[in-house]
Homo-oligomer: A and B are copies of this chain.
Amino acid sequence: MKYSTKLSDALHILVFLSLGTNQRPTSARIAKSVKTHPAYIRQLMAVLKNAGIISNTQGQANATLTREPCEITVFDVYRAVEGNKPLLHWDVDTNPECGVGIYIQLTIADFYQEIQETAEKKMRSITLQAIIEKYYSKLTRLD
């Protein structure tokens, strides 16, 4: 399949909103920046709105963050756009007849869960604020 870039694109949207250019944040303008289709942006924004991360009104291009960038974490956005989809996938379809098969995968699932929690903890520690700051520093000095 294609790789999911939903998290990246959703973060892109949030940074775009934070920058607050003098132009209204229409789905068309954001789509141009992300280089994608406006409808896809609207879909992501609907999800972000549903998760309470942004607010919006139909008919108007007035999307804004519902809270400060320092209070929005990468994990909030990940959960919003990816739901419960994990980073690693165990093999659901093994042979149930073979005792080894299913129990190995269930064991692997346990360890994947540990890896997931570790990654999620890290995601919780990264705020939109941090992303914006690093973005600005990239703009000024080229590091």
Contacts and interface: CB of A to CB of B under 8 A. Distances in A.
A12 B111 CA distance: 13
B88 A88 contact: no
Interface string A120-143: 011100100011001100110000
Nearest to A21: B100
B108 A11 contact: yes
How often does this chain occur in the complex, in copies?
A: 2
A23 to B, nearest CB: 12
Interface in A81-113: 87-91, 93-95, 98-101, 103-108, 110-111
B5 A104 contact: no
Given A12-B104, A135-B107, A33 B89 contact: no
Contacts of A98: 32-33
How many of chain A's residues touch chain B, expressed as a range? 35 or more
A97 to B, nearest CB: 9
Q: Which of A9, A34, A115 has the most CB of B within 10 A?
A: A115
A9 B131 CA distance: 36
A3 B88 CA distance: 8
Interface string A1-24: 111110111011001100100000
Interface of A: 1-5, 7-9, 11-12, 15-16, 19, 32-35, 74, 87-91, 93-95, 98-101, 103-108, 110-111, 114-115, 118-119, 121-123, 126, 130-131, 134-135, 138-139
